[in-house]
Structure 1
Amino acid sequence: MSESESVSGNGQSGPSTPDELLAHLDGLGLGYDLHRHPPLFTVEDSKALRGELTGGHCKNLFLRDRKGKMWLVVTLEDRPIDLKQLGAALGGARLSFGSPDRLMKYLGVIPGAVSPFALFNDAERQVTVVLDKEMLTFDPLNYHPLSNDMTIAVSPGSLLAFLRNLGYEPDILDLAGLN
């Protein structure tokens, strides 16, 4: 398998589509509200174009350490994160951002479309998930469903149920002090 290939949540080679993800959520009985919009690549884009979309708005950091271990850190959009402090909180890892090729390999998405729902494409469960404890107090939470031209609003319980259904038990950390 090349650096840009992956096996998706549907068990087939290549990343899953947003429709496949939404069908999976429907199959689990997890409710969501779908919002379509122009492609968003940054938190700033999202802030400028979100309109009246309520709830917790989040950013997603796809990170790796020098040994090749991968993390997806999901936090509130305005939360400053110091990678050195985060690495210390994660057991002393020296963290850096994963490349676009690595992002496609592990999560099957492009930069700007990263979200916890991209874990649907991590068939080998190689990415460790870290969720911001405070983020989980917001209802709904807003994330891209494998594409940055739509957003789904889900409850914290639905997010956790989705992750656990895939076999993840996310680390829930108080990220407020990591800045």
Structure 2
Amino acid sequence: MQKIYDTLKTLNIKYEEHDHPAVFTCVDAAKFYDKFPGARVKNLFLRNRKGDRHYLLIVSDNKTVDLKQLAQQFGEKQLSFASAERLMKYLHVTPGSVSALGLVYDTDLAVKILCDDSVQQHEQINLHPNINTKTITLTIADLLRYFGHTGHAVQFLPI
């Protein structure tokens, strides 16, 4: 988790940090997120059928994701949620705390970022810093700069 904060500092990214009780679902988070400005999102860590391609999907928290349709969109036979072991390997995080900020640990660029294009309608976004008792609010522009620093490109798509 410290690497996330160090990277934000290195990039001079200003953010607001919010402490709250642990949240494991979007329903739990909604109790607190209503007080925070910006996009409320969920981060889904997915893998293809063979397990040789990984995706981090950033999507508005009020949307339902059809994994079958998403798989077809990317020419995959199937997409499913990645295991806790894969989450730890690629993002250094446990289930319930998945965050796009964890991509700083994916130095091999094994994870492709997919983002719901409606997220771009907001100036700010709320993300966990790899722990579900904190939320960081930062600008979308700064998040894209963060991704650029990690070497990850973002593909925006309609969900």
TM-score w.r.t. length of structure 1: 0.84
1:71 correspondence with 2:59: no
1:139 is the counterpart of 2:123? yes
Question: Aligned pair in 2 of structure 1 residues 93, 164: CA closer, same or farther (>3 Å)?
Answer: farther
Q: Does 1:27 align with 2:10?
A: yes
Runs of 5+ unmatched residues, structure 2: none
State whether residues 25 and 31 of structure 1, in contact with CA within 8 Å, keep that contact through their aligned partners in structure 2. yes
1:121 aligns with 105
Shift of 1:111: 0.9
Q: Distance in 2 between matches of 1:76 and 1:138?
A: 11
2:23–2:132 contact (8 Å) kept in structure 1: yes
C-alpha distance in structure 1 between counterparts of 2:153 and 2:33, whole Å: 30
CA contact (8 A) 2:33 2:40 kept: no
Q: Secondary structure, in 3 states, of the residue corresponding to 2:76? A: coil
Instruction: Give the deviation of 1:51 after TM superposition.
Output: 4.8
Deviations 1:102-145 (A, max 9, x none): 11111110111111101111121111110111112112100001
SS in 2 for 1:113: coil
Give the match's secondary structure for 1:161.
helix
Higher share in strand? 2
Matches within 5 A, 1:7-156: 17=1, 19-68=2-51, 69-156=53-140
**Does the residue aligned with 2:131 lie in a helix, a strand or coil?**
coil
Aligned to 2:148: 164
Q: Partners in 2 of 1:86 and 1:92 — Cα distance?
A: 8
Native 8 Å contact 1:58 1:143 kept in 2: yes
Please give the alpha-carbon distance, in whole angstroms, between the structure 2 residues aligned to 1:50 and 1:154.
14
Q: What is the identity, as a one-letter code, of the residue corresponding to 1:108?
A: H
Q: Does the 8 Å contact 1:137/1:156 carry over to 2? A: no
